[in-house]
Amino acid sequence: MRVRRGDIVSVDLGGPSDDDTRGGEIYKTRPAVVIQNDVGNKHSVTTIIAPISGGHTNYPFKDSHVQLDQIRTVDIEERIVDKYGTVSPSQMEEIEDAIRISLGL
């Protein structure tokens, strides 16, 4: 599957008993936004995602927020299950601003 920055995808983040999920890390299959740049997406088998709160119900129409405290690198073929769509340019700008604040950039 090919992903691009701003894509809204369904990501399998494992379960509570998986070896790759610890403590307060989120798990389950849930929506996420791809935040990695498209050069990286073109040349890598992994991408960087930020999960989206709110689960699957009525997504993408349900109010939700991007969980920037849970940013992860995931294998595209192993973890990304489906694509829902793409965030708008204005939504991506908001996410970028929030990333800068969250990471102190």
Domain covering 7-103: architecture? Roll (2.30)
**pLDDT one-digit tens code per residue, 31-68:** 999 999 999 999 999 999 999 986 555 555 566 789 99
Q: Taking the CB of residue 77, how many other CB atoms lie within 10 A of it?
A: 9
Residues 9, 23: Cα–Cα separation, whole Å:
24
Instruction: With residue 93 as reference, give the H or E element that holds it.
Output: helix 89-103
**Range of weakest confidence among 19-28, 30-39, 89-98:** 19-28
Domain ranges of the chain: 7-103
* DSSP assignment letter at 78: H
pTM: 0.87
Question: Quick check: 74 and 47 in contact, CB under 8 A?
Answer: yes
Cβ-based neighbours of 76, under 8 Å, separated by 6 or more: 1, 3, 45, 46, 47
